[in-house]
Amino acid sequence: MASIIEFDEVSRRAIEDDVVDLARGLIRIDSSNWGNSADTVGEAEAADYCAEKLREVGFDPEVIVTTSDSRRGVILRIPGTDSEAGAIVVHGHLDVVPAMAQDWTHPPFAAEVDAGFIWGRGAVDMKNMDAMILAVARHWSREGIRPRRDTIIVFFPDEEAGLQHGSQWFVRNRPDVFAGATEAIGEVGGFSLTIRDNLRLYPIQTAEKGIRWLRLRAAGRAGHGSMIHKDNAVTELARAVTRIGEHKWPIRRTKTVDQFLASLSDAYGVEIDPTDSADVIQKLGTLGLLVGATMQNTANPSMLSAGYKVNVIPSEAFAQVDGRVLPGFEDEFDDTIRQLVGDKVNVEVMNSDIAIEAPFDTLTVDLMASVLRQEDPDSLAVPYMISGGTDAKALSTLGIDCYGFSPLQMPADLDYWSLFHGVDERVPIEGLKFGVRTLDRFMQQV
């Protein structure tokens, strides 16, 4: 592995102060993603902010307009010292999910500091990582540091509403950005999970479930609500939705989840049965809910609509279902849904995206584990799968192995997963400083 230029006291303080300022600056930009609504405008301001922060230290990033002027991303390629090595993509997204200010302890776009945390929408998902990427790049420019490999920094729009205006657009229209790239790192991995005082797990995301967002449509005969009516679209749809919602999906084992469960079993000192999701949830609590969702396909009805007046039986009824599929079990999901809804309900796929799984036994993942140990000797890196999705789905279609590695050291008593899209999202300042030091070590050497 390449040698690393270590921090002296002055440069360490500079990069730590910088990452805090950058995170607060980004959080103050309301880049809420309302889908295709005209209210989705903040991504452009966030992109311009990132580009300006890179220009301040002498870089020349490109701001790319994707599908409209309000949907913008940023790219910067930093040449490495080893021209034979494949490039690495380091990516973040600029958008956040909306927040209702009245529900928050601190205003969601004020980036207030309280109790050692920066509070605000995006503090965890994922302006913390955006800030770390910017801070590392700015540090390199100030110190004259070059990475071993070409490093492609990308900030995408539209991760939170389907990728169409962001990473998928980039892959379709600007694949040249990723020329020579073999690996990528992004969000939802590298955070600490305290098991005991001398052991913290750091899950590295190596896999994601696929997406199947479905729209169900039942048709029947319209009529007066006071009459006997056996051809009722609402009734037919309700039966289909109930069958989907109550279906018990079989346990399906994947390499990533098996490795994660084995690591958890060793860490907790308990026997965990990988064929029994109820046992996993019972023994692991909140974490078990996450793991359980990666042991099977899932399909959750989430929206219903029908009719316009109580005494009129409508001719159509609609439902939407959030489906998530394991890598390798996509056909099983599709076939099962078709059987559950029956012949009288039409199934339309609104949004479909791939499931992905990258290898864990690689030099790159070994380096992740190594830099974590250098900053936290009690760390243990383990692979895991997320039940949601990220921009890695788009990048993986280019043959790039994608990992979630946005390092953070979290307080032992903080429920990290509740912060994603949750009220009172916040990131610990000391954890953010830990993260930027760790990310710098990784990016220099990878």
**String of b and e for 29-51 (b: at least 16 CB within 10 Å)?**
bbbbbeeeeeebbbbbbbbebbb
Residues of the chain where predicted confidence (pLDDT) is lower than 70: 1-2, 285-287, 289
- Residues 171 and 74: beta-carbon distance below 8 Å: no
Neighbours of 198 (CB within 10 A): 7
- Write the pLDDT tens digit of every residue in 136-190: 999 999 999 999 999 999 999 999 998 999 999 999 999 999 999 999 999 999 9
Domain containing 337 equals 209-353
Neighbours of 408 (CB within 10 A): 24
CATH code of the domain covering residue 284: 3.30.70.360
The verdict on 285 and 267 lying in the same domain is yes
Q: Among the three residues 312, 338, 353, which one is the final residue of a domain in this structure?
A: 353
- Write the pLDDT tens digit of every residue in 339-380: 999 999 999 999 899 999 999 999 999 999 999 999 999 999
* Whole-angstrom distance, CA of residue 412 vs CA of residue 11: 28
The verdict on 231 and 364 lying in the same domain is no
Look over the chain and give the mean of its residue pLDDT values, rounded to a whole number.
94
The verdict on 281 and 371 lying in the same domain is no
CATH code of the domain covering residue 86: 3.40.630.10
The verdict on 57 and 178 lying in the same domain is yes
* Region label for 325, one of left (φ > 0), alpha (ψ between -120 and 50) or beta (otherwise): beta
The verdict on 39 and 165 lying in the same domain is yes
The verdict on 349 and 273 lying in the same domain is yes
What pLDDT is stored for residue 282 in this prediction?
Answer: 75
Say if 3 falls within a structural domain.
no
What pLDDT is stored for residue 274 in this prediction?
Answer: 78
By C-alpha distance, which of 336, 377, 37, 352 is closest to 192?
A: 377
- Write the pLDDT tens digit of every residue in 66-97: 999 999 999 999 999 999 999 999 999 999 99
What pLDDT is stored for residue 269 in this prediction?
Answer: 86
Q: Among the three residues 353, 373, 407, which one is the final residue of a domain in this structure?
A: 353
Say if 62 falls within a structural domain.
yes
pTM of the model: 0.93
The verdict on 269 and 296 lying in the same domain is yes
Number of domains in the chain: 2
What pLDDT is stored for residue 286 in this prediction?
Answer: 64
User: What is the greatest pairwise CA distance in the chain?
Assistant: 82
What pLDDT is stored for residue 119 in this prediction?
Answer: 98
Say if 4 falls within a structural domain.
no
What pLDDT is stored for residue 1 in this prediction?
Answer: 55
Report the relative pairing of strands 117-119 and 426-428 from DSSP bridges. Answer: antiparallel
Question: CB-based contacts of 318: which residues, under 8 Å, 6+ apart?
Answer: 215, 216, 217, 218, 237, 303, 304, 305, 306
Report the relative pairing of strands 223-224 and 199-208 from DSSP bridges. Answer: unpaired
What pLDDT is stored for residue 2 in this prediction?
Answer: 64
